Amino acid sequence: MGQRVLITGGLGFIGSNLAHELVRRGDRVTILDAMLEPMGFNLANLDGIRDRVTLITGDVRDREAVEKAVKDQDVIYACAGQVSHLDSMTDPWTDIDINIRGNLTVLEACRKLNDRARIIYAGTRGQIGKLVRRPCDETHPDNPTDIYGADKWAAEKYHLIYHTTYGMKTCSLRINNTYGPRHQMKHGKYGILNYFIRLCFFGQPIKVFTPGDQLRDYNYISDVVRAMLLADSDKADGEIFLLGSGEPVSLLEIAKKIVAAAKQRNLEARYELVPWPGERKTIEVGDFYVSFDKFAKTFSWKPQVGIDEGLRLTFDFYTAHRDKYIV
Ligand SMILES: NC(=O)c1ccc[n+]([C@@H]2O[C@H](COP(=O)([O-])OP(=O)(O)OC[C@H]3O[C@@H](n4cnc5c(N)ncnc54)[C@H](O)[C@@H]3O)[C@@H](O)[C@H]2O)c1
């Protein structure tokens, strides 16, 4: 395809998987990542493509760095973010700084220096909060329950304002719970499926908050990457799209599936039901699953990897690359 593509946060889970696919199809990829702890960056995420991407160590809050990075890009994927719901509550200032100011810095740099670039924002289902009807679609009211959700929501508004006001090519993909290779395995603040898998590698119990019956839908990373590539289209400009799997499953059911998959690999794995910690309970949204009809109809997209296959592929990846992710 030969496009110039910038991925902010491209050393993290979603950005790096996207980078692999873009390189595979012949795009020229630049990554801007600040490598901030405890976030999901990992240089090993570029294994296999390291010599074919330009890596800039820089922060999306740094105007100068961002202005240099956005120049001449055809497409910009705005993936850099603080992703922990819990950390957004204990340190709201950092969340505002990265998730709001960081995105605005990218938008302003593009407005000044490259207003023809298409900017695809990695939004989140967390912007919606507790559902008043299920499955939710893009018309569902937004009532985020935590600072992360509110800040991601505000940043999405900025992206859309730059479309309506300046005619820039922006859109938001509200990404659902995503799991798979190249996700950080350091902690369980976000990316719970991957964290459950980590626990299995150490023979530690998966703790499911009782009764674990909240329904969620989970997308395997390759389906999300495919959606992000499709969003590089004038059909996406000015739009919000929800992604989902169409397969709601309870957290307890997921824990059982992960234990079963681990046991097939001779790992000592088990789950246990434990009471909810207060700080998690207050921001919990209950059953959450979406209709992805709008994206499906616009782009003929549907998820291709079901939960059982996705878990198998995820176990395979971390078994093969354990030393770089699970230490
Ligand atoms: N993983 C999911 O399930 C999910 C779901 C919905 C939305 N999202 C969104 O997708 C995006 C990527 O999430 P992820 O799961 O890949 O997270 P991640 O933590 O794996 O990656 C985020 C990357 O952003 C970088 N980063 C953070 N702050 C930065 C800054 N100020 N400047 C430059 N780089 C910075 C980090 O170093 C990291 O490499 C986030 O914006 C997140 O809100 C993720």
* Position 120 pLDDT exceeds 90: yes
Per-residue pLDDT tens over the stretch 27-38: 999 999 999 999
Residue 65 Cα to ligand 1 midpoint, Å, equals 18
CB 54 within 8 A of CB 73: no
Distance of CA 307 from the midpoint of ligand 1 (Å): 22
Test site for ligand 1: of 83, 85, 175, most ligand atoms within 8 A of the Cβ: 83
Report residue 134's pLDDT band, with 50, 70 and 90 as the boundaries.
very high
Q: Which residues pair with 206 in a beta bridge?
A: 271
Taking the centre of ligand 1 as the mean of its atom positions, its distance from the CA of residue 63, in whole angstroms, is 19
On average, the pLDDT of the chain sits at 97
Structural domains of the chain in order of their starting residue, each with its CATH number: 4-184+219-246+289-305 (3.40.50.720)
pLDDT band at 285 (very low <50, low <70, confident <90, very high): confident
Instruction: Read off the pTM.
Output: 0.97
Report the alpha-carbon distance of residue 127 to residue 149 in Å, rounded.
4
> What DSSP character marks residue 59?
-
- Helix (H) or strand (E) holding 172, with range, is strand 169-175
Q: Is residue 1 scored above 80 in pLDDT? A: no
Cα dist from 181 to 40, 124, 145, 149, whole Å? 12, 19, 28, 24
Residue 327 pLDDT: 82
The predicted pLDDT at position 234 comes to 98
Instruction: Find the mean pLDDT for residues 6-24.
Output: 98
User: What single-letter amino acid sits at 168?
Assistant: M
* 197: pLDDT strictly greater than 80: yes
* DSSP state letters, 141-158: PPB-SSHHHHHHHHHHHH
What are the start-end ranges of the H helices in 56-146? 63-70, 85-90, 92-95, 103-113
> Which residue, chain included where needed, has tokens 């939004």?
123
Cβ-based burial of 300 (10 A; exposed 0-12, middle 13-18, buried ≥19): exposed
pLDDT in the model for residue 279: 82
Residues with CB under 6 Å of ligand 1 are 8-9, 11-15, 32-36, 39-41, 59-61, 79-83, 98, 102, 122, 124, 152, 175, 177-178, 184, 191
* pLDDT tens column, 136-173: 999 999 999 999 999 999 999 999 999 999 999 999 99
What would the pLDDT profile of 56-100 be if each residue is shown by its tens digit?
A: 999 999 999 999 999 999 999 999 999 999 999 999 999 999 999
CA–CA dist 46, 165 (Å, integer) = 37
So what's the pLDDT on residue 172?
98
The whole-angstrom separation of Cα 125 and Cα 148 is 11
Please state, as a whole number, how many other Cβ atoms lie within 10 Å of the Cβ of residue 25: 10
For 93, other C-beta atoms within 10 Å of its C-beta total 9
Cis upstream peptide for 38 (omega within 30°): yes
Mutate to test the pocket of ligand 1, among 39, 85, 106, 220 (most ligand atoms within 8 A of CB): 39
